[in-house]
Structure 1
Amino acid sequence: MVPKVALLHVRFQEDIPNTSSLADFLSNQAVNYALSRRRRDAYVAELTAGKNGDLSLVTQISKAVRGAFIQFRKEYPSRASEVGEVLAYCVAVHHLKAAQLVAKMSLKTAGNMPVHGLDGIHASVKDGVLNVFFLESKLAGSAASGTADYAESVLGFGNNKKQYLQEYGLVRDLGNLDTLSSSDREHLMAYLDVYSKPNSQRRERSVGVICYSETKHFANKVLVDDGPLDKHEVHFGKLLTEDHGRHHKNASNQLATQGLDASKCMLFLVAVPDVDQLREEFYEALGLPPAPLDSTLTQTTSSEDESE
């Protein structure tokens, strides 16, 4: 069925959704999302060359990552959704087996770079065809509102030819390609040269990673007993699976409303008990205090709930 819709959820610690564990995992992955591959390799080389087990560089790396998030939140307080962007990065790497082509956080915090619309660009090569994934991450109070936001963002990007070409230009000029061997780099550069080779063999897909508050199903609990430890997670998984048809219908309607080609879109809906809590715990795990200007995402209107 198109569009492709996958349902994910936070893991359980017996009967408790383990939001803190997810926040910790994402904060640990923030270094891979935020720092360019070249900078990460430089840190690895320096750590390897260190003498007497010197790990002082680890503190410097941590400060560099926190500094990037602090700077971005300070300059763009209304866009404090980095936890969603890191989550999208992890989904692309794990579920799509697609490597990050450019570290967008590094560009967004550069003094001479604008804030770019896409949250990530990943790619994989299969059967000689380059698969390029344009990532859009959304934090939302409901799956319906998040899907609507995603559809609007995809329309805005799809209708902006200048931005489309600019994103490919960023990958060619500022991406992680310099870490490849010369032959692999030339091969990939040929795929990415949309200016002089617009018909090169590549498949482009829009990927929406929507992290939302699933208040209904997380409230539907089973009793704690001495039975199978995973029964609470299994119970929740069944409830979520039963909603797949509804989520797919909503996604199809939202994309159709915007006149988008659903066959070129795939959505990952990630259910958590409270997306605001996840964001707060993510910042806490990074060592950042909550920002007063962070907007609440869990408030939804009755019309939004009904549209799902």
Structure 2
Amino acid sequence: MPSSSDSSLPLNAVIEKLLDESPLDDFVNCAVDLSSASDTPPKISLLHVRFREDIPNTSSLADFLSNQAVNYALSRRRRDAYIAELTAGKNGDLSLANQISKAVRNAFIQFRKEYPSRASEVGEVLAYCVAVHHLKAAQLVAKMSLKTSTNMPVHGLDGIHAAVKDGVLNVFFLESKLAGSAASGTADYAESVSGFGSSKKQYLQEYGLVRDLGNLDALSVTDKEYLMEYLDVFGKPNAQRRERSVGVVCYSETKHFANKVPVDDGPLDKHELHFSGLYSKDYDRHHKNVINQLASHGVDPSKCLLFLVAVPDVDELREEFYDALGLPPVATEAILAITSVAKDEQE
């Protein structure tokens, strides 16, 4: 493998050139993080929408994700071109800002028009934010920009990110799910990760997108070539990298959000703390359930990381996300079946 002298920067510094900022903590609280999770794999983190006093603030989260959609949907090269044009504008000209918003909206409109049954991009943007904020992992390829390009595959991973930990490159394969319950969402994840893990064709295809159409083009030639020493699965299949599947399951948590405490003049955060406490107690149940689901599909739990994100209603979050983007609802959009009671009884 190359040494840091082969590049103008060490590996982690090259990755950091592609790393965005996503202040997810302002909108999504972490009740149980990966570091305090069980020693038994897979590692699971429990997240939930933040409260405005006693009200889960879904609208604020939807607005935040609609803003983050710009970074998720547009390639780094295209974003850098917009930034350069804005910087070069005279007398505070911001007319380009509307063009940027249109570019993002058009990407979502085109995708939803062609694939209405897969209109769940809010989950993909959320997964992007989780990877950036909690894993400090840079986006290697803007999948949304490829999904709306001619002849590009629609199916496949929802994101590919990378971070350097203890000097080792970690590649994260993102799978996002929207679900009526945690059990149904993690079951969908287990099935998806099993399918990806058993498909060499899809595995090579995803790395091919990183190589040929990814955000690495925004790097200098030297830095890109250095990073590709780790990511070229075709020429260097045994390069030193660690690969992990990351599941981000956003689901409707109907039970705990309904368990409220009275509003009074006490601490403002008591409502969020109350919910977080109830939610944290479910960790063992969720963890056991995921272990069983992964085992049923023959998936190695040691190579999986899961983030469960509880909201009162995923359909409400999705509708408010599209509204924040300025998009009308899709009449043919499938509404998630709420099967949480039956599923949870089986966990």
Q: Which bin holds the TM-score, normalised by the shorter protein?
A: over 0.9
Any stretches of 5+ residues in structure 1 without a counterpart?
Answer: none
Give the conservation status (yes or no) of the 8 Å contact 1:275–1:298: no
Partner of 1:235: 274
- CA displacement at 1:299 relative to structure 2: 1.8
- Residue in structure 2 matched with residue 283 of structure 1 by the alignment: 322
Which residue does the alignment assign to 2:306? 267
| Matches of 1:251 and 1:86, distance apart in 2 | 23
> Is the deviation greater in 72-81 or in 110-119?
110-119
SS of 1:210's equivalent in the other structure is strand
1:49-80, Cα deviation, whole Å (9 max, x unpaired)? 00111111000000000000000000000000
1:192 maps to a residue whose letter is: L
Q: Distance in 1 between matches of 2:294 and 2:332?
A: 31
Residue of structure 1 in register with 2:339 after alignment: 300
Of 126, 129, 143, which aligns to 2:182?
143
% of aligned pairs identical?
82
Partner of 2:90: 51
Give the letter aligned to residue 279 of structure 2: L
Asked if the contact 1:142/1:298 (under 8 Å) is kept, the reply is: no
Would you say the 8 A contact 1:276–1:298 is kept in 2? no
Aligned to 2:23: none
Q: Deviations over 1:113-161 (max 9, x none)?
A: 1213100000012333210000000000000000000000001111110
* Corresponding residue pairs, total: 308
Cα drift, residue 301 of structure 1: 6.3
Task: Choose which of 80, 103, 107 in structure 2 pairs with 1:41.
Answer: 80
Could you tell me which of 77, 80, 83 is aligned with 2:116?
77
Matches of 2:79 and 2:340, distance apart in 1: 43
Cα RMSD over matched residues? 0.9
The equivalent residue for 2:33 is: none
Please report how far the alpha carbon of residue 300 of structure 1 lies from its aligned counterpart in structure 2 after TM superposition.
Answer: 1.0
Query: Which ranges of structure 2 fall in alignment gaps of 5 or more residues?
Result: 1-39
Instruction: Look up the match of 1:31.
Output: 70
1:169 aligned to 2:208? yes
Distance in 2 (CA, whole Å) between partners of 1:307 and 1:45 is 54
**Which runs of structure 1 show a deviation greater than 6 angstroms over 4 or more consecutive aligned residues?**
none
Shift of 1:180: 1.6
Which of 203-212 and 177-186 deviates more?
Answer: 177-186
1:174-222 CA distance string (max 9 Å, x none)? 0000112333211210111111211110000000000000000000000
**Alpha-carbon separation, structure 2, partners of 1:207 and 1:77:** 25
CA–CA separation in structure 2 for the residues paired with 1:127 and 1:177: 22
3-state secondary structure, aligned to 2:175: strand
2:256 equivalent to 1:217: yes
Residue 298 (structure 1) shift: 4.5
Scaled by the length of structure 1, what TM-score is found? Answer: 0.98
What is the SS of the residue equivalent to 1:195? coil
Partner of 2:294: 255
* Matched AA of 1:142: S
Paired position in structure 2 for 1:10 = 49
Task: Choose which of 219, 229, 232 in structure 2 pairs with 1:180.
Answer: 219
Contact 1:274 1:298 in 2 (8 A): no
Residue in structure 2 matched with residue 191 of structure 1 by the alignment:
230
